[in-house]
Chains A and B, each alone.
Chain A
Amino acid sequence: MYTQGLDQKGEDAGRTAETAERLAAFQARIDAEEKIEAKDWMPDAYRRTLVRQISQHAHSEIIGMQPEGNWLTRAPSLRRKAILLAKVQDEAGHGLYLYSAAETLGTSRGQMVDDLLSGKAKYSSIFNYPTLTWADIGAIGWLVDGAAIMNQIPLCRCSYGPYARAMVRVCKEESFHQRQGFEIMLSLSRGSEEQKAMAQDALNRWWWPSLMMFGPGDSDSKHSAQSMAWKIKRFTNDELRQKFVDVTVPQAEFLGIRVPDDELEFDAESGHYKFGEIDWQEFFDVLAGNGPCNRQRLQKRQRAHNDGEWVREAARAYAEKQRRKAAA
């Protein structure tokens, strides 16, 4: 997913040398549900918002491989291992589709990668939590990918064509991710008492961070209104969070595990679940770099990048040699 709206600084909505007519014509195209393509004129702020959102989304996919990668060598069976490997590869693919979409806006891949490695760019808070047991792999697929799907499906209709098309690709692959996670939770919750307890423990730890994936509440989300007007976003953070709770609680009931929220109750009148207050201090702490695994995640990515430098260099040298040979 993982477009949390992580930078909450206000942007002066394209007040550079852009004429009012151009802005109005652009908004008219958006209002008519026309897609904006890479080479089309667009307000600076629209471009900046998209580069930020798409690159954060890409970084989240890339960093998101780490918590699950942690269990690849310890998966309980060959079947589980093959599935998890395919899932983690998909996440790498999602990152690459998204970098590719962001590059169409004129920011280079190298720049985006540098921003991630230097710690300047943000990624989804959820990936800064540790995966302590195998049940966490189930909880991630079920809850984290579930929340991602909720967030990503409306992005398939985003006004920016390359982003929307990348999201269509991503969404086609996500439902396998969620199902494999649910299947893990199902096996555990039908297993021994110990396995059931593992499933419960994983839900206890992942429930609230999953709700935080949708970003701050609508009253604190400064970007929301402009992104809605530009049809980058189609639903508010709180709307998506509510949908997620509504579909997920019955699934937990089916599994026979308890959502860790004393205030959770179904409100027959509205047809929605009421749920307790999110600990936003925790959310902002994790975003600020002080979650349980922030430093570890970044260090691991930096190490992987640096360790791969000789491979990139060798490939460049080989390509150059082949070119010279062909020219001779």
Chain B
Amino acid sequence: MSNKEWPLYEVFIRSRAGLSHRHAGSVHAADAQMALDHARDVYTRRNEGVSIWVVRSSEIIASDPAESSAFFEPAADKIYRHPTFYEIPDGVENL
């Protein structure tokens, strides 16, 4: 029976207007509409959401954690991108 398992969908929920969708978990479903229905029943029984996205798990492209130090390395030495890099003399305001 397991080889005929319904596909897996990742579930993202916007908890209220003004906030981004956030990953909540996953559900199995035969199709996209059923995935939305299951996501509603599993993850929003207490009004935790005003909008749901589902996407087939197999469609997600993710960065590789084993490569993450090399992947994110270019940002590591550019401390001048942060305002704290700059020294502002006492007496200068609104900057």
State the Cβ distance, B51 to closest chain A Cβ, in Å: 18
B63 — nearest CB in chain A belongs to which residue? A39
Note all chain B residues with C-beta closer than 8 A to A312. Answer: 4, 6, 30
A interface majority secondary structure: helix
State the Cβ distance, B10 to closest chain A Cβ, in Å: 9
- Listed by A's residue number, 25 A-B pairs whose Cβ atoms lie within 8 Å are A39-B64, A39-B65, A40-B65, A90-B45, A93-B41, A93-B42, A96-B25, A96-B42, A97-B25, A97-B42, A100-B25, A100-B26, A100-B27, A101-B25, A111-B2, A113-B2, A165-B25, A166-B25, A309-B1, A312-B4, A313-B4, A315-B6, A315-B34, A319-B30, A319-B34
A37 in the interface (beta carbon within 8 A): yes
Which A residues, 291 to 328, have Cβ-Cβ distances below 8 Å to chain B? 309, 312-313, 315-316, 318-319, 322-323
B55 in the interface (beta carbon within 8 A): no
Binding site for A on B (CB under 8 A): 1-6, 8, 25-28, 30-31, 34, 41-43, 45-46, 62, 64-66
Note all chain B residues with C-beta closer than 8 A to A313. Answer: 4
In angstroms, Cα B26 to Cα A311, docked, is: 21
State the Cβ distance, B26 to closest chain A Cβ, in Å: 5
In angstroms, Cα B29 to Cα A312, docked, is: 9
A239 in the interface (beta carbon within 8 A): no
Binding site for B on A (CB under 8 A): 37, 39-41, 86, 89-90, 93, 96-97, 100-101, 103, 108-111, 113-114, 165-166, 169, 173, 309, 312-313, 315-316, 318-319, 322-323
